[in-house]
A and B are shown apart, each in its own frame.
Chain A
């Protein structure tokens, strides 16, 4: 089940398979330090996620920038796939409490609290809740709406790796690691001399 929202999912700008999202929030007065701590926890969840789960979310990168002397926050992220599955799956993988953790320190806190209440409370969106997945999918439309209300599309966006997906990048990396292992073997030259392997031999000199 994919939730739908009224606003166009293509609000961000794309380059190849990668789309960008930039959302600006006000920081609640006096909450800058708490916000920084919450952001540290949020990014740690992303950093320690299973790579396969990160691929599921389509996440390419994510950064939060506190600026205007602690008064404003930019969340800038890029991702593969479309907006709807991206955020929905991010909610499932990351868990709503981690979004709430930092968003409660923004000027959108009241809206966030209202969204949580309408979604059955924070416990209902915790990954340990037995109906977590159903609850999260149901709640994702509300979160999308909040984020999109703060989103500003990039005027332009360029990504030199926009043509390839994370899966392709990781596969390329694994292939290169394997290829380097082959090249380290003294028998590699003879093995790669077969005509069928010429494309590989052409890449073997550096």
Chain B
């Protein structure tokens, strides 16, 4: 069991990608590797360590980062001892596919339909490279691939190119990645002046969290402390279905845009309905000092922003809900893949497009899995058990209520607009832990 070594994280030891916001725009690549030879995998980690920035050493001008994460099977494959593996969280040990029922990954999203090798025991090591443009991404990937040279015991088994457009729009056409939490001691700018920074232990293992305690840290301490968990999911988006659904129920084009904003909780520019309930405000959406600086307490009935909208579900802020919001905050990173469906197109073109979503947090169960089960795929916490998240929920003939005076609007027959193509739980070790892993002699 870990003992407290202070409540302030050592940012020089935390992988930069854990806490650093991503650049805008950016290009990225997810690489999944299988470890067939643990000694070669350790050599790879050893070679990559000099390429990894910490939060403290991250170059804000260069904005290039590389991150390393391990699945549970990956830690086992590289030789982390069994008594150490047993100290990781039960959800991480089981892996995302085994948690499908808890996550609502059913039907088209069930692991049986996932894209291989996602969800398999072959996915061991995940490398994520991000850069402001493709040439700089290629440069860092070249270094990563060079690190893999003459290591046939580590095989690349999956690759996914991702990107963030200059306007930061996700495939549905809305600006994404706005509402990130502020963290004590992390020196990351706070974008909501009304939200107290969260304890570091919510996002880094080995530090005090919002419960006032320190969650169990994977052992030995050098392996677990300063690390965190990540969940990544490749989410296919049914953009044409989304547009058709809204068009078929809207009175006109303006109403269609309003309904879409009510579903999302923000306008396409990122302007929050809480601050601009009637029309988009691109200036507000583009202002990082204002576009996340609000609460919902003045809108208890959801007349401005529906209680069930995607953004309000993901962070209910000060709204009265069942549960404590601060225990379920997450760092969320969404990034696009596939070609966007051009504006005004309502027919599906057959292209695979979507989001590679990444969660980062120290508590897989009470952060990621809780939010997925309670806030995305249920409505009891806001008093509407029949409703799920209208945008990303596992809807099947779902319902969505849009409060409005004098009479609310209610939409039925919601289909799923997002399908999970697969994912995995990863552990993002600290830099010290990566050195410890590279030096293993098991």
Contact = CB atoms under 8 A, between A and B. Distances in A.
Contacts of B406: 189, 192-193, 201, 204-205
Interface residues on B, range: 10 to 19
Contact of A183 (B303, B307, B405, B407): B407
Nearest to A205: B405
Interface of A: 180, 183-184, 188-189, 192-193, 201, 204-206
B403 interface: yes
A205 B407 contact: yes
A118 B301 CA distance: 60
Interface in B400-426: 401, 403-408, 410
Contacts of B408: 183, 204-206
Instruction: Give the dominant DSSP class at A's interface.
Output: helix
A205 B409 CA distance: 8
A205 B407 CA distance: 4
Contacts of A206: 301-303, 307, 401, 403, 408
Contacts of B404: 205
Interface of B: 301-303, 307, 401, 403-408, 410
A188 B404 CA distance: 13
Given A193-B406, A206-B303, 12 more contacts: A183-B407, A183-B408, A184-B410, A188-B407, A201-B406, A204-B407, A204-B408, A205-B303, A205-B406, A206-B302, A206-B307, A206-B401
B255 to A, nearest CB: 14
B302 to A, nearest CB: 6
A180 B412 CA distance: 13
A96 to B, nearest CB: 36
21 contacts: A183-B410, A184-B410, A188-B407, A189-B407, A193-B406, A201-B406, A201-B407, A204-B407, A204-B408, A205-B301, A205-B303, A205-B403, A205-B404, A205-B406, A205-B407, A205-B408, A206-B302, A206-B303, A206-B307, A206-B401, A206-B403
B410 A180 contact: yes
Contacts of A205: 301, 303, 403-408
A192 B410 contact: no
Contacts of B303: 205-206
A141 to B, nearest CB: 42
A30 B311 CA distance: 54
A58 B263 CA distance: 42
A183 B401 CA distance: 11
Q: Most chain-B CB neighbours within 10 Å: which of A180, A188, A189, A206?
A: A206
